[in-house]
Structure 1
């Protein structure tokens, strides 16, 4: 699946389960391992788990591949590795504490187009 389509599938899956504060970062110049990082917030453990499951199911249904899902046990910070795109789904307190946006730069989704 091409990068733009994969990105759209992931964002749609996150929006379907009411993810908050969805951000997309272009990491092509920062890492050779993946091209995008998507960060989203879920309001509870249950919602972060549901968001991750939604992403996994939608990517698989559209012919993409999910390499791994980490953090479902606690649901505080769930990572979904979709190969070219890595998705971080965090609860608000962890999102605020870790500020992953600072790691991946200031190029957000609206600037790279989603």
Structure 2
């Protein structure tokens, strides 16, 4: 998949799990490590974990092995690195504290 297809794929898998406040950031001009970042919120630790699990599992099924998968145990902020797309799934308090949209937007 190219980066735009991977972005659409990730957004679809996030939507499947009813993530809230989904924001996509085009960071191609500001980052050498990825093309897009997706930031979304889950309502609880379990919801955050489930959203990230779904993205990682479905990516594997589609032949896109995640390069990294971190934060699963804590469930405050789970990162799924798909290479050209990095997905950040966060609980509200972590999201407001780190404010990735402002940092990268």
Normalized against structure 2, the TM-score is what?
A: 0.96
Greater Cα shift, 10-19 or 56-65: 56-65
Deviation string, structure 1 residues 60-106 (Cα, Å, up to 9, x no partner) = 1122221111000110000001001111110011111111101111x
- Report the equivalent of 1:14: 14
Structure 1 SS opposite 2:21: strand
**Cα distance, 1:21 vs structure 2:** 0.5
Distance 1:5 1:58 in 2: 14
Q: Return 5+ residue gaps in structure 1 as ranges.
A: 106-114
Distance 2:26 2:89 in 1: 17
**Where does structure 1 differ by over 4 angstroms across 4 or more consecutive aligned residues?**
none
- Report the equivalent of 2:38: 38
- Report the equivalent of 1:97: 97
Q: Aligned-pair RMSD on alpha carbons?
A: 0.8
Structure 2 SS opposite 1:86: strand
Normalized against structure 1, the TM-score is what?
A: 0.89
**Cα distance, 1:3 vs structure 2:** 1.0
- Report the equivalent of 1:51: 51
- Report the equivalent of 1:112: none
